Each structure stands twice: as structure tokens, then as C-alpha cells.
């Protein structure tokens, strides 16, 4: 494809107008202000449009679309125990396949080209990723409430199986990470064994960490004053590249550990606000040299997967928290949602519109009322645009969504399947109350 006469958000997060961008295979092969001599095939008219890196949702539970609007106005502990866990007990593999496809459709519609997911129903989720064309780093969440050896855990055994079957599948679109659900869902013995296993596999780790004050303080009581970050570090979890979700209640010592160990924080502003968990101080993390990526969490605690809405909240919250309008620029937030997210997945050839980079791209309609006048288009991307303005989403050089059309997903079939399966599960839950 050749994007013709289009505005490009370049590697410095500056807008360059009247550009030509040629895609060959899965990479960007040409960028310039002159129309290339080479024939790139289909020509996309870029007038009134902006081309930029596709977005990365750094923390999600895609299959939980079945629970959108189901567990409302509850704090995390009650949200999990009273609503989410009973519902999840009734989910079957085929339910998870269709619910993941629905999540992927929403992500593609709003410009997300890759996501980091932590859940179960591994094969169903990964088959949906494979069928849709999106990119994903997936991890099977490991939990254990006893001192059993990690090798005996069904969750660990499933993790081992998908590493064998799925790691680097679909030409690398699918990557398998290893996941420790959280400190409060595992004993120290398993945490230490997890650290050994993820190092032995040379994979990346994905964890929940200090999402709520209650979680943070309870960990200190259980482990001699150690916070979740300090416990994970002592157990060796952070000796591999780690993505730590939430980090709302981390201490200065925790932040120093993140910086030293190269931990990436996946902040989830909408979910943390909706569950009343608090606000992650992303500005403090950045000021202390910690890489921050951006996620939505699941639609059960957010209700949407629109990364433009996530960027909007992420940009505003530090300004209100610190009562300073000059903190966390729009370029900081764009970097979180693109470069930092891809880096956390180990995809260092994505996240920028540059020659030889992966063609993981989105096109945004800028000829809209909310983007006018064009005084500062980069600022508008954060504070005025929305995922509804996306007109094209491309991963590995393949168009997956364009102007209302999904190229790989039968969206009406998926919506019907999710509606009907949700009603069935709700009835099953009610019968067992």
C-alpha cells in the first residue's frame, strides 16, 4: 500500500504534512515528500488524514468482554469475589474465543495493533489472535493458594503447553510471556519457583502489583514489611524483563527497584479510577527513570478498550494530582501508548513511522469538527481525538480494519455469539447463587 499525500506523526512526535509512505510486506519501505517511483500497489488517499504508529494496550484481559457492565460500582475485592469469579467459573473455551474476538474488534476499530494479555482459556484466546491478525503477548496467569510445587499447578502446566505450541507463532505476531497473577494470589514458594522458571525459559514476566492500598498493606503484614515490589524483587521475578500492571500504591523504594531492574509499569487509569483503587503517579515514575506503558485493563473494570480515552485520562490525572498544568506532555503519553508498549513486549522494531520499521500503523481522520482548527494536531490527538476517528488499522503490513469493515472478523456473528453466551452464563450463575 502507498499512503499518498498524508500527514505523518514522525519519530519525534512531530507532524509532517504532504508525505508518501510505502509499505512492502510487513515493513515500511519508503517515506518521503515525493511520490516514489516504485509501485506499492493500492494507493490510500491521505488528504485530511494522519498516519501514526498503531497503539499498544499494555494490560488487558480480552476474554472478559463477556462481563462488560456486569460488575458495577464495587471495590476490587468485592468486584472479584462477588461478581467476576462466579461468572468466570461458567465460561467455556468457545465463549472465550468469541469474547476475545469481540475485544480484538474493538481494539482494531480504535487503532490498537498489539496487546499484552493475562488470562486463562489460553488456546481459545490465542486462536482468536491468530485468526484476527492482531499482535499479542499472552500469558497464562499462575495462581496458587497453597505451598504446592509450581510443577503440580494446572495453571503452570497450561503455561508450559502454550510456550511449546504458540511462542513466536504466526511469524512472531504471537509471543508468550509468563504471568504471576499477583502476590495476594500466590505463596512465596511459588513466587520463587516462578522466578526460576521464567528465567529458565528466557521469557518476559507480567504481574499485577500494588493495585489497591489493601493489597499493598496486606503484603507487608504477610511478608515482614516487604511491599509486593520488594517481595517480587527478593524472589528474583524482576531478573527478567517485567511488565508490572497498576502500581498505584508503590513506594519510593519500589520505584528505585523498578529503575534498577528495568521494570515497565503498565498504568491503567480508567480501571483504577472506576474501581476506586487510586491514581498511579506516572509523572513521578517518569521523573525517576521508570519506563511507563499504558493499558485499559478489561472492559469489566473499564467498559471500553479505546486507547485514545486511556491517553486522555493518563494526560489529565497527573495535572490534577500535582496541581500543575505543565506535567506529562502529550508526547510523553504518546510514547507510553506506542514505543514503550512495544518495548515492553520485546518488539523494538515497532512503534515508530520509519523506514525498515514494522508496518504497525493507524490512520486517523483529522478533517473533523473536534480537530478544527489545526493549531496543534499533536495536542489534539490526546485531548480532542477519539478511537472513533480511526479509519484504518494495519498490523504487519496487513489492513485489518478500514472504514467500518473488518477484514478478518465476521463482526455480526461475533456480536451475536457474545450476547447469547453472556445470557447463558448469567442464568447459570443465578441458578447457583
The CATH number given to whatever domain includes residue 244 is 3.20.20.140
Range of the domain at 34: 2-53+357-406
CB 212 within 8 A of CB 231: no
Q: Is residue 415 part of a domain?
A: no
**pLDDT, position 253:** 98
CB 400 within 8 A of CB 393: yes
204 grid coordinates: 518476559
Q: Where are the alpha helices (DSSP H) in 84-153?
A: 85-88, 93-109, 122-132
Count other C-beta atoms under 10 Å from residue 224's C-beta. 8
Confidence grade of residue 76 (pLDDT, cut at 50, 70, 90)? confident
What does the pLDDT average to over 197-209? Answer: 98
Phi, psi (rounded to 5 degrees) for 223: -125, 40
Phi, psi (rounded to 5 degrees) for 131: -70, -30
Which residue is listed with cell 515514575? 285
How far apart CA 207 and CA 177 sit, in angstroms, is: 10
What sign does the CA torsion over 149, 169, 110, 311 have?
Answer: positive
Domain check: are 218 and 318 in the same one? yes
What does the pLDDT average to over 279-296? Answer: 98
b/e per residue 44-53 (b: at least 16 CB within 10 A): bebeebbbbb
Q: Count CA atoms closer than 13 A to 399's CA, side-chain side.
A: 18
Domain check: are 47 and 74 in the same one? no
Domain check: are 193 and 335 in the same one? yes
Q: Is residue 63 part of a domain?
A: yes
Confidence grade of residue 433 (pLDDT, cut at 50, 70, 90)? low
Chain CA centroid to CA 96, Å: 18
For residue range 218-258, list pLDDT tens digits in order. Answer: 999 999 999 999 999 999 999 999 999 999 999 999 999 99
Domain check: are 108 and 62 in the same one? yes
Inform me whether the pLDDT recorded for 10 exceeds 90.
yes
**pLDDT, position 426:** 95
Domain check: are 47 and 63 in the same one? no
Confidence grade of residue 154 (pLDDT, cut at 50, 70, 90)? very high
**pLDDT, position 173:** 98
**pLDDT, position 431:** 86
Domain check: are 243 and 141 in the same one? yes
Count other C-beta atoms under 10 Å from residue 172's C-beta. 15
For residue range 296-346, list pLDDT tens digits in order. Answer: 999 999 999 999 999 999 999 999 999 999 999 999 999 999 999 999 999
What does the pLDDT average to over 131-145? Answer: 97
157 three-class SS: helix
Q: Is residue 385 part of a domain?
A: yes
Q: Is residue 126 part of a domain?
A: yes
Q: Do strands 135-142 and 112-119 pair parallel, antiparallel, or not at all (unpaired)?
A: parallel
The CATH number given to whatever domain includes residue 31 is 2.30.40.10
Inform me whether the pLDDT recorded for 179 exceeds 90.
yes
**pLDDT, position 432:** 74
Domain check: are 361 and 245 in the same one? no
Confidence grade of residue 169 (pLDDT, cut at 50, 70, 90)? very high
What does the pLDDT average to over 68-74? Answer: 92
Amino acid at each position: 500500500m502507498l499512503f499518498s499525500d498524508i500527514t505523518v506523526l514522525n519519530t519525534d512526535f512531530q507532524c509532517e504534512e504532504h508525505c508518501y509512505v510505502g509499505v512492502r510486506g510487513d515493513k515500511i519501505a519508503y517515506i518521503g515528500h515525493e511520490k516514489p517511483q516504485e509501485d506499492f500497489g493500492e494507493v490510500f488517499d491521505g488528504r485530511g488524514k494522519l498516519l501514526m504508529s498503531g497503539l499498544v494496550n499494555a494490560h488487558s484481559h480480552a476474554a472478559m468482554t463477556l462481563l462488560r457492565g456486569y460488575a458495577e460500582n464495587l471495590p476490587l475485592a468485592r468486584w472479584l469475589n462477588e461478581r467476576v469469579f462466579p461468572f468466570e467459573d461458567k465460561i467455556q473455551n468457545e465463549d472465550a474465543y468469541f469474547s476475545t474476538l469481540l475485544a480484538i474488534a474493538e481494539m482494531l476499530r480504535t487503532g490498537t495493533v498489539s496487546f499484552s494479555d493475562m488470562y486463562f482459556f489460553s488456546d481459545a484466546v490465542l486462536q482468536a489472535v491468530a485468526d484476527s491478525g492482531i499482535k499479542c503477548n499472552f500469558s497464562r496467569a499462575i495462581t496458587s493458594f497453597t505451598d504446592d510445587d509450581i510443577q503440580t499447578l494446572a495453571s503452570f502446566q497450561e503455561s508450559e503447553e502454550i510456550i511449546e505450541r504458540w511462542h513466536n507463532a504466526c511469524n512472531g505476531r504471537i509471543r508468550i510471556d509468563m504471568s504471576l497473577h499477583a502476590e495476594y494470589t500466590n505463596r512465596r514458594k511459588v513466587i520463587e519457583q516462578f522466578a526460576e522458571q521464567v528465567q529458565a525459559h528466557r521469557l518476559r514476566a507480567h504481574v499485577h502489583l500494588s493495585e489497591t492500598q489493601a493489597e499493598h498493606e496486606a503484603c507487608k503484614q504477610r511478608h515482614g514489611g516487604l511491599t509486593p515490589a520488594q517481595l517480587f524483587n527478593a524472589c528474583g521475578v524482576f531478573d527478567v524483563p517485567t511488565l508490572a500492571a497498576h502500581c498505584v500504591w508503590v513506594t519510593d523504594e519500589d520505584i528505585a527497584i523498578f529503575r534498577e531492574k528495568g521494570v515497565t509499569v503498565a498504568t491503567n487509569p480508567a480501571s483504577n479510577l472506576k474501581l476506586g483503587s487510586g491514581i498511579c503517579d506516572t509523572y513521578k515514575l517518569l521523573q525517576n527513570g521508570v519506563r511507563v506503558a499504558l493499558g485499559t485493563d478489561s472492559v469489566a473494570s473499564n467498559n471500553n478498550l479505546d486507547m485514545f480515552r486511556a491517553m486522555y485520562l493518563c494526560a489529565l490525572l497527573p495535572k490534577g494530582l500535582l496541581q500543575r498544568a505543565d506535567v506529562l506532555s502529550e508526547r510523553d503519553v504518546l510514547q507510553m501508548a506506542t514505543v514503550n508498549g512495544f518495548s515492553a513486549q520485546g518488539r523494538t522494531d515497532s512503534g515508530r513511522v520509519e523506514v525498515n520499521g514494522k508496518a504497525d500503523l493507524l490512520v486517523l481522520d483529522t478533517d473533523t469538527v473536534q480537530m478544527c482548527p489545526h493549531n496543534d494536531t499533536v495536542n489534539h490527538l490526546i485531548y480532542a481525538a477519539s478511537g472513533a476517528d480511526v479509519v484504518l488499522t494495519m498490523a504487519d503490513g496487513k489492513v485489518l480494519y478500514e472504514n467500518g469493515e473488518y477484514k478478518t472478523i465476521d463482526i455480526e456473528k461475533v456480536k451475536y455469539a457474545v450476547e447469547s453466551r453472556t445470557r447463558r452464563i448469567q442464568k447459570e450463575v443465578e441458578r447457583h447463587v
